[in-house]
Amino acid sequence: MSAKVLTRSAVAVVLVALVAASYWAGRHYAFNPGAPASADIPPALSGMSGMPDFSGLVQAYGPTVVNVSARHAPRRVFSGPGTRQLPVDPRDPFYQFFKRFYGNVPGFGGGEGGGGGDDGDDSAGQGGTSLGSGFIIEPDGYILTNAHVVERASSVTVTLTDKREFRAKVIGADKQSDVAVLKIDAKNLPAVKIGDASRSKVGQWVVAIGSPYGFDNTVTAGIISAKARSLPNENYTPFIQTDVPVNPGNSGGPLFNLRGEVIGINSIIYSQTGGFQGLSFAIPIDEAMKVKDELMKTGHVSRGRLGVAVQPVDQSLADSFGMARPQGALVSSVDPTGPAAKAGLQPGDVILSVDGQPVNDSSDLPALIAAIKPGRHAALQIWRDRATQKADVVIGSLGEARAAPAPASAKNVPPARMQGRLGVLVRPLTPQEKNGTSLTHGLVVERASGAAASAGIQAGDVILAVNGHPVSDLPQFAQMVAHANKSLALLIERGGSQIFVPIDLG
């Protein structure tokens, strides 16, 4: 068993902020230690340094934060939370797509429920306990935490700051938003005050209270670094990014503003080591409360579904599609049975707005669609054939799913043809390949070199479209490449996923 060493370091902070000092001059507030947890507590500042004093906030609201211990029964296979592997080839277009979020790291430290001596990693199948945090939202025992903290738990125990322990019932958990609601059999508990995350500003001080590594009621502080931050595979939450030190075990704990109001739930960290590295992400409390209300009312969360896969539009793709600037969400694939297909959307369309709300980036679209109730109509503005068009779509339910057919082995492979300018050797799909997949058209890449290889195209990819126009045969494809300017966008399919890849021909 490896020893753990705790070290102490003194950090000297020199703050030059004349403007801030002049603003706060004469504004000295103090917390009332005897005030109830629901009191409207003003910010407390040190008159000598101008730095915030969090002691009153912690005294008033520390008792509202709980430790959540989730026991996992033994099972055959368990994949520890938070590790998401990237393609290993840096030229791979899928790698390049995710690299902007992950950097050169194996994955996010999301799902940091482990803590103390037992981090919940029961990969050997022996079971275990994962530790997280939560906070009381109602005096009669309702608690919010992260869904990944209690995921697959056989039992959940909540420990209050006064050391009382309660067996908790999971009222509901929503994996998409990572919000869970617990209930313990207790009355007259101290409860947090819910704030308004939309009124928070980048640069404001915030405080986290939780149980990192099992050290309960630990207080850390920092500032809001960004708002409405989108993360890979977390498409329905506009996260609050902070530099508050958050570590394994902080998951599910509250993020306070200086008024003592909860504005977020700490959920994800970005880390190369598994520990804090300056990037923490919290679920806005208004989003969490919407989920809480639905979970308590129906036991599940209803979200709208469009039935498309989208990707960002960079400058190369914008040039390929004749757009004045990069914007919107580029449709890379359409579920043939989904709402988008019924409304006539197709790969290569760029969604610019939904019901008048602009889609500045592809990450904006999932949350906009999810907020629309299934069955309602939505007005889309799209970019197609170098012009804006309108589309009306009846939003579906996110619960709808469609299984992807397995690919079939190729037989009687037709001859291939080399496209020298692009650098790909391609051939048509065989009847067996069409029957074994959902593909109706496209060209299979036999070999890639030159510009195509530099962009990450590889053997086995299926080219479905050029600049949004479907590819049906070799002569048509050759003509499209010949008439392209300095760049073009190829829609490729690989492993059941589709993505537009910009190719520099210059």
Residues with active-site annotation: 148, 178, 251
> What is the spatial distance between Cα 442 and Cα 470, in angstroms, rounded to a whole number?
8
Strand, helix or coil for residue 120: coil
Strand, helix or coil for residue 118: strand
Q: What is the CA radius of gyration of the chain?
A: 26
Closest CA to 249 of 231, 266, 237, 236: 266
> What is the spatial distance between Cα 70 and Cα 155, in angstroms, rounded to a whole number?
6
> What is the spatial distance between Cα 495 and Cα 403, in angstroms, rounded to a whole number?
14
Closest CA to 255 of 246, 212, 63: 246
Q: Say which residues have a Cβ less than 8 Å from residue 233's Cβ, sequence separation at least 6.
A: 84
Planar angle of CA 22, 26, 27, nearest 5 degrees: 95
> What is the spatial distance between Cα 489 and Cα 493, in angstroms, rounded to a whole number?
13
Query: Position 57: which residue type?
Result: L
Q: Which class for 360: exposed (0-12), middle (13-18), buried (19 or more C-beta within 10 A)?
A: middle
Question: Would you state the structure tokens that stand for residue 364, as one six-digit string?
Answer: 């904006």
Residues 476-479: contacts with CB under 8 Å, at least 24 apart: 477/419, 477/426, 477/443, 478/417, 478/419
- Alpha helix ranges (H) inside 224-349: 285-298, 315-320, 339-342
CB 237 within 8 A of CB 195: no
Closest CA to 246 of 227, 226, 265, 228: 265
CB 285 within 8 A of CB 262: yes
Query: Position 216: which residue type?
Result: D
